[in-house]
Amino acid sequence: MSTVALPSLAEILDSARVVSLPLAARFRGIETREALVFEGPEGWTEFSPFVEYADAEAATWLAGAIDFGWRPSPPAVRDRVAVNATMPAVAASEVPRILARYDGCRTVKVKVAEAGQTLADDVARVRAVREAMGPEGRVRVDANGAWNVDEAERAVHALAEFDLEYVEQPCAEIDELAELRERIDYLDIPIAADESVRKAADPLRVARAGAADLLVIKAQPLGGVHAAREIVAQAGLPAVVSSALDTSIGLSMGVALAAALPDLDYDCGLGTASLFTVDVVGSPLVARGGMLPLERPRPSSSDFDRVAATDDRREWWLDRLRRCYAALEITRG
């Protein structure tokens, strides 16, 4: 598949801004989300690999950001995308407060298997979500690969009473997912693969191994909208387009991907702007009636000033950008 030619590093740096967005609840071990955004001919785009990711992995995220900023998105087949609410690994008593941040979402993804917590904490949180959503709501859980097969089987049994839509990345390894899928087949609870796609040398291996029922697809870490769309086409499995706690700019990349997929059977994990107390634009890309529109946010100078990162963090991100750009130059010859 063709890729867009690399713009010059100077062209990227010319508009680059580093932002820091506070969260309404601790999520993925952080209380603020940092990102570097810059503007291309197609509009604003985002480079935001998590800070612990090495440059080799982060460079693919940069390729995704460049793809979105310099290459037109594929033709859309829908102008709105249904999204789920995302529930961090909070205490059960906090569930109503978090859900109140989402408007009209019929599906909730609940984070489970948080370090330092127990299965009982997970059960209490999922129960609180199910009670809040009622019998018609859809509840899915995400373990981020934290369980081994036995732990995952035990957890799925404990959570099955809440009518799970699916369990996302219960185990880290593909062979573990395949074994778990066999063990819980009689429960009719699908397994979704996330890290086994976006962090894999071969993102299609999990599909070929029959280790998952559906794929969670994130545009930026897979090299952009076009590359991610091709992975979905080749995998032949249903896809859920999701985000990596992106700003509204990054979320618009996910919406562009979701809008271009021929089939979209599941609500997408693109509603995470609701977890921020402030975003990179004055009108964040948050769910209205459970939907996100196909649109591209345009931040202003005052928007950037409101969420600007500290000078030392700005330099950290610019140095990272330079290293990842150099890595992309090498890989593209």
At 65-86, the pLDDT tens digits run 999 999 999 999 999 999 999 9
- Per-residue pLDDT tens for 233-247? 999 999 999 998 999
**Annotated binding-site residue? 312:** no
Predicted TM-score (pTM) of the model is 0.96
pLDDT of residue 29: 81
Is residue 109 among the annotated active site residues? no
**Annotated binding-site residue? 46:** no
Of the candidates 33, 71, 109, 111, the residue annotated as catalytic is 111
Residue 262's CB is within 10 A of a number of other CB atoms, namely 8
**Annotated binding-site residue? 168:** yes
Please state at what angle helix 311-331 crosses helix 55-70, rounded to 10 degrees. 90
pLDDT of residue 1: 55
Contact 192, 216 (CB under 8 A): yes
Q: Which two tokens stand for residue 141?
A: 């859980």
d(CA 205, CA 203): 6
Is residue 199 among the annotated active site residues? no
CATH number of 80-293: 3.20.20.120
Of the candidates 130, 218, 229, 320, the residue annotated as catalytic is 218
Length of the chain: 333
Residues of the chain short of pLDDT 50, as ranges, are: none
Alpha helices in the chain (DSSP H): 9-15, 55-70, 95-99, 119-133, 149-159, 174-183, 195-198, 205-208, 225-235, 248-260, 301-307, 311-331
d(CA 62, CA 68): 10
3-state secondary structure of 94: helix
CATH number of 9-73+301-331: 3.30.390.10
Identify which of 161, 164, 112, 102 has the alpha carbon closest to the alpha carbon of residue 138: 164
Residue 210's CB is within 10 A of a number of other CB atoms, namely 13
pLDDT of residue 55: 97
Domain coordinates of the chain in residue numbers?
9-73+301-331, 80-293
The answer for residues whose C-beta is within 8 angstroms of residue 151's C-beta and 6 or more apart is none
